[in-house]
């Protein structure tokens, strides 16, 4: 089954700039999270194509929207 490519600019959601800045800070400056996120990102970028990474991003956002705010990885 072939799905159409996910293209930029077609999303009904917008990216909150403050949330993006906080995410980038966590990903690049936080001593605990930055190395963990960098390692996972490197793995995902090596294993998934661009469309698969975009689909994963949307899936993560959807799961975060549906999960209780207190849910954390253990």
Q: What are the distances in angstroms from CA 10 to CA 7, 43, 73? A: 6, 27, 31
C-alpha 14/C-alpha 67 separation (Å) is 20
pLDDT of 67 strictly over 80:
yes
- 74 pLDDT above the threshold of 50: no
Who wins on pLDDT, 39 or 7?
A: 39
Cβ pair 11, 59 in contact under 8 A: no
Q: What is the model's pTM?
A: 0.69
Ranges of each domain in the chain: 17-66
* pLDDT at position 64 over 80: yes
pLDDT digits (tens, 9 = 90+) for 10-43: 555 677 889 889 999 999 999 999 999 999 999 9
pLDDT of amino acid 68: 86
Q: Residue 6: left if φ>0, alpha if ψ -120 to 50, beta else—which one?
A: beta
């Amino acid at each position: 089954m072939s799905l159409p490519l996910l293209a930029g600019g077609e999303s009904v959601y917008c990216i909150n700039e403050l949330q993006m800045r906080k995410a980038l800070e966590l990903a690049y400056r936080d001593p605990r999270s930055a190395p963990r996120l960098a390692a996972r990102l490197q793995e995902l970028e090596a294993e998934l194509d661009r469309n698969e990474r975009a689909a994963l991003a949307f899936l993560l956002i959807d799961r975060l929207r549906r999960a209780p705010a207190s849910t954390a990885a253990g």
